[in-house]
Amino acid sequence: MEPKKREYVSDEQLKQYFPDLPTGKLDDYRKKASFDWRRMKLVYDDLESIDLKHRIWKFFEETPVFKHADKSVSLDEERHIAIKRMYSVQNEAFLPIDKLVMNPQCYEAETEAMFMYDSSMTVKLSLTFRMCSNVIRGNGRPVHSQILDDLESGEIGGCFALTEVAHGSNAKGMRTTATYVPEKKQFVIHTPDFEAAKFWVGCLGKCATHAILYAMLYSEGKNHGLHMFVVPIRDPKTLKPYPGVTVGDIGEKIGLNGIDNGFVMFDNYHVSKDAALDKLGGVDDDGNYMTPFKDPNKRFGASMGILSGGRVHITTISTAYLQKAIVIATRYSAVRRQFGPDDSSEEMPVLEYQQQQIRLLPYLASTYAMRIFCNWFSEAHVTMVINGYAGADDNAANRGVEMHALSSAVKPVFGWAARDGIQNCRECCGGHGYLKAAGIGDLRNDNDANCTYEGENSLLLQQTSRWLLSVWAARGRINPADYPYGTLTFLNGADKVLADKCRWSSTKEMVDPANLVYMYKWLTAFTLKQTAEKTERLKKAGKDDFQTRNETQSYNAVALSIVYGENAILNHFYKTVLEFEDVKCKNVLLKLVSLYGAFILEKHLATLYIGGFLSGSQGVLLREGILELCAAVCPEAVALADTLAPPDFCLKSVLGQSDGEAYKHIQSSVMTYPESMSRPAWWRDVIHWRTYVPSKL
Amino acid sequence: MEPKKREYVSDEQLKQYFPDLPTGKLDDYRKKASFDWRRMKLVYDDLESIDLKHRIWKFFEETPVFKHADKSVSLDEERHIAIKRMYSVQNEAFLPIDKLVMNPQCYEAETEAMFMYDSSMTVKLSLTFRMCSNVIRGNGRPVHSQILDDLESGEIGGCFALTEVAHGSNAKGMRTTATYVPEKKQFVIHTPDFEAAKFWVGCLGKCATHAILYAMLYSEGKNHGLHMFVVPIRDPKTLKPYPGVTVGDIGEKIGLNGIDNGFVMFDNYHVSKDAALDKLGGVDDDGNYMTPFKDPNKRFGASMGILSGGRVHITTISTAYLQKAIVIATRYSAVRRQFGPDDSSEEMPVLEYQQQQIRLLPYLASTYAMRIFCNWFSEAHVTMVINGYAGADDNAANRGVEMHALSSAVKPVFGWAARDGIQNCRECCGGHGYLKAAGIGDLRNDNDANCTYEGENSLLLQQTSRWLLSVWAARGRINPADYPYGTLTFLNGADKVLADKCRWSSTKEMVDPANLVYMYKWLTAFTLKQTAEKTERLKKAGKDDFQTRNETQSYNAVALSIVYGENAILNHFYKTVLEFEDVKCKNVLLKLVSLYGAFILEKHLATLYIGGFLSGSQGVLLREGILELCAAVCPEAVALADTLAPPDFCLKSVLGQSDGEAYKHIQSSVMTYPESMSRPAWWRDVIHWRTYVPSKL
């Protein structure tokens, strides 16, 4: 988890990408800032990632199909736009593989730029081309090279069909079957009933021609478990489904409606034996099952490994959404004035109100913590995958285990932080935040998917806690090399830390970054200990493993994984900031570390008392410390938002534009909304309502 | 706050309204319940309110314009449907005034039935007809009787224009003017610029012919403050705006899109002097200002009194949304199976998982607490208003003050409980909860408005805290008669309670309803004391009133109003349950009181430590108590949801139907979604994408 060393970037280079912001209503706050908003970008970006984002946004701004619509369009039109945008972007090839290998951070930058503009298009791009290619590359054989070429050239379009109607989380309960018929050298794919239909499959609703399908492999009457197949769904020349395939669209969702999520059922559908992506296990021509793994669970685990990439990806997606929301709400709070001191005729910006600050500024700090973490995390994951292809990592197994545990913890932490942060931003914008043109509602609706897909949050957290429980007993004998991402350092001297008590008596000490890091170490160790002890107690009382796990979920295992994830994020944030060269930026960032750490720790304040770390009214110091930090960060807030902001056309919010002219943008938006000022076509139904209401006779 | 005495209702009478539910997948849970789900309804309903809701839902079910659409329709079509539904309902006159006077609870029942079916239509109904009539009746003179008749007969349609683009909360900052011209006996209404345009006005976008307009009254060069006028906007025969009026629609919102929220600007628009609703203050023919109030703030307060009805109303609206969400999530969690004990081939309903229980069941308990409270609250408010018209209440002023404070506290508490509860329901439904057809996303989007309209939540809470701070010093001398709703009883012996410490050492004692009520009394008194002391400290340090209020918002004044509201809800819930006759229902309800009380108290656990009420690991008892209560409520959960559930067609969720056949309803929904299985019209753009992507040359 070491912060990245970056090359020096000059002010001139930065100004080429980021011209001066328009002067106006935000000037006062911008002048108050103690640092350079452009240089601040370098705490998470480098020149290459900045350049990539710049090129992508420029392309969007200049390409007609990326123009914003005047008003919401139909579901069908949303899909149509998403597909046209997707092919346009794919055709640009912004990030060729050689560039990616040279600078894996660019992967994250690309994701960020695209998700900030159009999340549906970006998901489709990733599913149609990349995910399928990755799966085939990792699990296929030479015979699949043609299909790989066709995918990558856009001749065909893929999708990833795992989830069934009645089984999502419990992958082992899937019921789609692939039965091998040696006489024909074919598999027969079959869906027993609608509950086993593949469902939620992104890009399958209208477009995909091929699916990566997970099905139970049967051969010689025996079920060999879940295996992957690449299965033709629709004719790439006509987009009509093949006989034996019932495929359709699952209709509207809460958000992400540009994605054509679909369902598919197979009626004894025959496919060639080569459909099997069987590098990790499968049948030979005669139907004999072979696998390089001795333990079938290991094969299953390896075949599901692709999903951890999805979780890492979601940390970036959640951050991109929150980042937009916090920019909108911060800027608008700085120009929105309401009430004021008794002796003043001038109203005060709502950002100056304590209750507005405490709802916004901790999320502004969170956005920095998350942006810094997910950039590192995405890069670490891409590096792991690349090294995996190259066989270059001798610590790959340990890396994989820790990555799995960490991603299962931080995906929920990020998804929920974005959920709560976006909601606070929405409410902090008052009534106007409820306008669709404010842009926050769509962010919430898109982010909502992050809380349940790629593993429902509460369930994922339990995967992490199982692993943490397994290392608790060995806490004195941890070998750092076995945990290459360093997320278990909180176990160093855990017993000694747990015997410690709070020795601080001022707000300043209480929110000092190093002390917060120390308290998080205590909290993580304590929550693990508490969960381990409850587990022990229940087992002694005769409960089996399943019952014990069930009865240690809430306040224990789930809380444990959350604090473990938060601990990793906080530590990485602090380390990164300590190493940042720009002194002015660093001073502000240290405040953000304090604010972030204190804010997330406050949610666990009761646990700090329960475990005896705090006593008396010490908790008040933490709360007062948060309020003081909010007041200290307030003058920096607009500049901090400027650093995070995408270009105005990408932000697309009447409230959050960089000129601070929220009311003018509202005016322009409502005045030009189609038919805003015209009489409705159905005006007679208002006046002559008696002609159609049900008769009372 | 006394619970209502109700007449006996027989099982036969109940069965007439509530036939047996379909047998099937929910049977197991239904059999586990220890009480009669029909009788449980009587803890908040009586036969008359049941009958009214039944008639309303039957009308919706049988009337063509209320049929659900197959898919989302355009904004224009949403408005069209809302208006047709609105007039159909108005024509039915479900609740004539004489019935309302006889049983004020029916007002709440009507609101509940309508909001559960179509919130946009219901808001429009209330704005177009009722709110305007109420305002005119309360503030108009005999000259306005014609306009009242026209409103009530639907010849014209009203709206309520208070909020301006740049001023919402701070009503005194409004800038629309009404200047009296004695020569013409007219007012000139004028909007200086777009920031002063009336904005967010419901029903103004497309339909309203008249507006209740708030404007600064100028006469003889003097500003007499904000006054009400009834102003013609559009010709009732053509729906075209009058010259001098610029009126339009504000476009799409996050939710409630059936409502045509609008804006209006006036360009020196002349209206008759009779436009003034000047019972409480206005000018005579010569322009001399007269008012029965000596203190202009009192006149202003009285003219804004109408808004407290809105806050009371919102408690009912939030409850209706949460109620639907909790029914959907509870039923689906009972039929959705995933994983299971190691030795079992059968998967377990997800409702059996602890983490699912703790996310759902406290909100199930909250829904009962809220339903019971808002029924009482709505009735209390309607009674207050009716008595006000009749001049029958000699305690009216005290009632008004306490109602204002209480409604300003519970409106946020309800809105946020619904927000968080709905979100938990959404996530507890896993991936399928993200389907629009699950119905939860729309509930969230509609409820979202409750968090900022009729007073932004955080701001409202500070109105309550100012009042509470004003009574703190007098806590030993409180006369119960001055606080007729009894919400200040927590001050009885506050100093003695505050000196107390927790004496309980078991989970059972910790979550005993009486003990929870006691702890809430402690918590409310402590939070008030803490806020009062911080206020004192800041004033001594030389801060003025405005600064002091600002710096005591977070963790103090805002938290204070929340616990004051929660305290009132919890106490009313407990009292009502204690008096409920049915023993089996009562036993379950007592568990819900415990679960609700423990759940909301747990959010303030750190404060219980900070104030010294708890020490050591006592907090664990509360948390373990919550888990035990969840396990105890789990077998009752489906029947508790059945009690709360509206008819299936009104619930309108593929996941929550009473037959428990979630997957069949999903199947039916996706298979019949328009064009679900057909090829998109734009299929060629998938295959021939190279023909339109930007050239790379």
Q: What is the dihedral of CA A459, A464, A466, A468, to 10 degrees?
A: -160
Contact B111, B313 (CB under 8 A): yes
Q: Do B166 and A663 touch (CB under 8 A)?
A: yes
What is the distance in angstroms between the Cα of B53 and the nearest Cα belonging to chain A?
19
| Overall average pLDDT of the B301-306 stretch | 65
Token match 């023919």: residue? B285
Instruction: Characterise A128 by phi-psi region: left (phi > 0), alpha (psi -120 to 50), beta (else).
Output: alpha
Q: Do B251 and A437 touch (CB under 8 A)?
A: yes
| Domain ranges (residues) in chain A | 157-297, 305-484+497-672
Beta carbons within 8 Å of A124's beta carbon, 6+ residues apart:
A82, A83, A86, A202, A203, A207, A258, A259, A260
pLDDT at A619: 98
Contact B656, B332 (CB under 8 A): yes
Chain B contact set for A677 (CB, 8 A): 246-249
Q: Do A452 and B435 touch (CB under 8 A)?
A: no
Q: What is the dihedral of CA B557, B559, B562, B568, to 10 degrees?
A: -90
- Angle at the Cα of B110 from the Cα atoms of B107 and B115, rounded to 5 degrees: 125
If one compares A94 and B169, the residue with the highest pLDDT of the two is: A94
* Three-class secondary structure of residue A269 per DSSP: strand
Rounded Cα gap, residues B694 and B690, in angstroms? 9
Q: Compare CB distances from B679 to A239, A462, A558 and report the shortest one's residue.
A: A239
Closest C-alpha among A377, A378, A432 to residue A669: A432
3-state helix, strand, coil in chain A (%, to 5): 60, 10, 30
**Cβ neighbours around B515 below 10 Å, total:** 18
Give the model confidence (pLDDT) of A122-158 as tens digits. 999 999 988 898 889 889 999 999 999 999 999 999 9
Q: What are phi and psi of A200, to 5 degrees?
A: 75, 10
- Report the 3 state secondary structure along A134-187: HHHHHHCCHHHHHHHHHHHHCCCCCCEECCECCCCCCHHHCCCEEEEECCCCEE
| Start-to-end CA span in chain B (Å) | 77
Pairing of strands A262-266, A198-201: antiparallel
Q: Do B436 and A237 touch (CB under 8 A)?
A: no
Q: Catalytic site residues of A?
A: 454
pLDDT at A653: 98
Contact A229, A178 (CB under 8 A): yes
Which residues 598-617 of chain B have a CB within 8 Å of chain A?
602, 605-607, 609-612, 614-617
For chain B, the residue count is 697
Helix axes of B583-602 and B558-578: crossing angle, nearest 10 degrees? 170
If one compares A439 and A479, the residue with the highest pLDDT of the two is: A439
* Three-class secondary structure of residue B77 per DSSP: helix
Confidence bin at B398 (pLDDT 50/70/90): confident
Rounded Cα gap, residues A643 and A364, in angstroms? 11
pLDDT at A6: 75
* Mean pLDDT for chain A overall: 94
Beta carbons within 8 Å of A470's beta carbon, 6+ residues apart:
none
Q: Domain A157-297 is classified in which CATH homologous superfamily?
A: Butyryl-CoA Dehydrogenase, subunit A, domain 2 (2.40.110.10)
Fold of B507-644: Butyryl-CoA Dehydrogenase, subunit A; domain 3 (1.20.140)
Q: Compare CB distances from B453 to A74, A341, A431 and report the shortest one's residue.
A: A431
Contact B277, B229 (CB under 8 A): yes
* Three-class secondary structure of residue A281 per DSSP: coil
CB half-sphere exposure, A546, CA atoms < 13 A = 11
Q: Give the residue from A609, A622, A691 with the most B CB atoms within 10 Å of its CB, the best one to mutate.
A: A609
* Mean pLDDT for chain B overall: 94
Query: CA-CA distances (angstroms) from residue A692 to A100, A689, A695?
Result: 64, 6, 8
DSSP symbols for B264-278: EEESSEEEEGGGB--
Q: Compare CB distances from A436 to B253, B612, B681 and report the shortest one's residue.
A: B253
Q: Do B606 and A610 touch (CB under 8 A)?
A: no
What is the distance in angstroms between the Cα of A142 and the nearest Cα belonging to chain B?
26
Chain A contact set for B673 (CB, 8 A): 248-252
Q: Do B434 and A340 touch (CB under 8 A)?
A: no
Q: Compare CB distances from B430 to A358, A359, A452 and report the shortest one's residue.
A: A452
Q: Compare CB distances from B619 to A154, A436, A610 and report the shortest one's residue.
A: A610
Q: Compare CB distances from B452 to A173, A434, A669 and report the shortest one's residue.
A: A434
Structure tokens at B198: 């009336």
CATH class of domain segment(s) A305-484+497-672: mainly alpha
Contact A300, A225 (CB under 8 A): yes
Report the chain B residue with the minimal C-alpha distance to residue A430. Answer: B452
Q: Catalytic site residues of B?
A: 454
Q: Give the residue from B234, B338, B610 with the most A CB atoms within 10 Å of its CB, the best one to mutate.
A: B610
Contact A610, B617 (CB under 8 A): yes
Structure tokens at A691: 């002609």
Q: Do A670 and B250 touch (CB under 8 A)?
A: yes
Instruction: Kindly state whether B481 is in contact with chain A, defined as any CB-CB distance less than 8 angstroms.
Output: no
**Cβ neighbours around B286 below 10 Å, total:** 10
Chain A contact set for B200 (CB, 8 A): 431
What is the distance in angstroms between the Cα of A574 and the nearest Cα belonging to chain B?
26
Chain B contact set for A79 (CB, 8 A): 680
pLDDT at B1: 65
DSSP symbols for A45-91: --HHHHHHHHHHHHHHHH-GGGSPPSS---HHHHHHHHHHHHHHHHH
| Overall average pLDDT of the A475-487 stretch | 89
| pLDDT higher than 80, residue B305 | no
CB pairs under 8 A between A and B: 369
Give the model confidence (pLDDT) of B467-520 as tens digits. 999 999 889 888 888 899 999 999 989 999 999 999 999 999 999 999 999 999
Q: Compare CB distances from B195 to A250, A340, A663 and report the shortest one's residue.
A: A663
Q: Do B554 and A354 touch (CB under 8 A)?
A: yes
Confidence bin at A532 (pLDDT 50/70/90): very high
Burial class (CB in 10 A: 0-12, 13-18, 19+), A505: exposed
| Overall average pLDDT of the B634-652 stretch | 98
| pLDDT higher than 80, residue A304 | no
Report the chain A residue with the minimal C-alpha distance to residue B545. Answer: A342
Q: Compare CB distances from B254 to A250, A436, A547 and report the shortest one's residue.
A: A436
Chain B contact set for A156 (CB, 8 A): none
For B69-96, b where at least 16 C-beta lie within 10 A, e where not — what string? eebbeebbebbbbbbbbbbbbbeeebbe
Structure tokens at A167: 């089984």
pLDDT at A305: 63
* Three-class secondary structure of residue A597 per DSSP: helix
Q: Do A687 and B154 touch (CB under 8 A)?
A: no
pLDDT at B399: 87
Chain A contact set for B545 (CB, 8 A): 342
What is the distance in angstroms between the Cα of B309 and the nearest Cα belonging to chain A?
19
Rounded Cα gap, residues B441 and B448, in angstroms? 11
Q: Compare CB distances from B610 to A431, A452, A620 and report the shortest one's residue.
A: A620
Contact B428, B659 (CB under 8 A): no
- Report the 3 state secondary structure along A410-434: HHHHHHHHHHHHHHHHHHHCHHHHH
For A525-547, b where at least 16 C-beta lie within 10 A, e where not — what string? bbbbbbbbebbeebeeeebeeee
pLDDT at B5: 72
Rounded Cα gap, residues A431 and A654, in angstroms? 13
Closest C-alpha among A55, A145, A62, A67 to residue A106: A55
Fold of B158-304: Butyryl-CoA Dehydrogenase, subunit A; domain 2 (2.40.110)
What percent of chain A stands above pLDDT 70? 98
Q: Do A680 and B79 touch (CB under 8 A)?
A: yes
If one compares B208 and A342, the residue with the highest pLDDT of the two is: B208
Which residues 153-212 of chain A have a CB within 8 Å of chain B?
154, 157, 163, 165-170, 173, 194-195, 200, 206-207
Report the chain A residue with the minimal C-alpha distance to residue B256. Answer: A434
What is the distance in angstroms between the Cα of A507 and the nearest Cα belonging to chain B?
15
**Cβ neighbours around B276 below 10 Å, total:** 25
| pLDDT higher than 90, residue B393 | no
Which residues 434-453 of chain B have a CB within 8 Å of chain A?
434-437, 440-441, 445, 448-449, 451-453
Chain A contact set for B76 (CB, 8 A): 675, 680-681
Structure tokens at A128: 């149609």
Q: What are phi and psi of B214, to 5 degrees?
A: -100, 125
Confidence bin at A78 (pLDDT 50/70/90): very high
CB half-sphere exposure, A229, CA atoms < 13 A = 31
What is the distance in angstroms between the Cα of B111 and the nearest Cα belonging to chain A?
21
| pLDDT higher than 70, residue B169 | yes
Give the model confidence (pLDDT) of B671-694 as tens digits. 999 999 999 999 999 999 999 998
**Cβ neighbours around A481 below 10 Å, total:** 8
Rounded Cα gap, residues A510 and A519, in angstroms? 9
| Overall average pLDDT of the A356-382 stretch | 97
**Which ranges of B33-96 does DSSP label H, i.e. alpha helix?**
37-40, 47-62, 75-92
For B625-638, b where at least 16 C-beta lie within 10 A, e where not — what string? bbbbbbeebbbbbb
Give the model confidence (pLDDT) of A597-641 as tens digits. 999 999 999 999 999 999 999 999 999 999 999 999 999 999 999
Q: Do B675 and A76 touch (CB under 8 A)?
A: yes
Q: Do A693 and B544 touch (CB under 8 A)?
A: no
Which residues 28-87 of chain A have a CB within 8 Å of chain B?
63, 71-72, 74-76, 79-80, 83-84, 87
Give the model confidence (pLDDT) of B361-382 as tens digits. 999 999 999 999 999 999 999 9
* Three-class secondary structure of residue A669 per DSSP: helix
Q: Give the residue from A152, A676, A695 with the most B CB atoms within 10 Å of its CB, the best one to mutate.
A: A676
Strand order in the sheet with B262-266: B198-201, B262-266, B245-249
Q: Do B355 and A554 touch (CB under 8 A)?
A: yes
Q: Do B680 and A445 touch (CB under 8 A)?
A: no
Instruction: Kindly state whether B683 is in contact with chain A, defined as any CB-CB distance less than 8 angstroms.
Output: yes
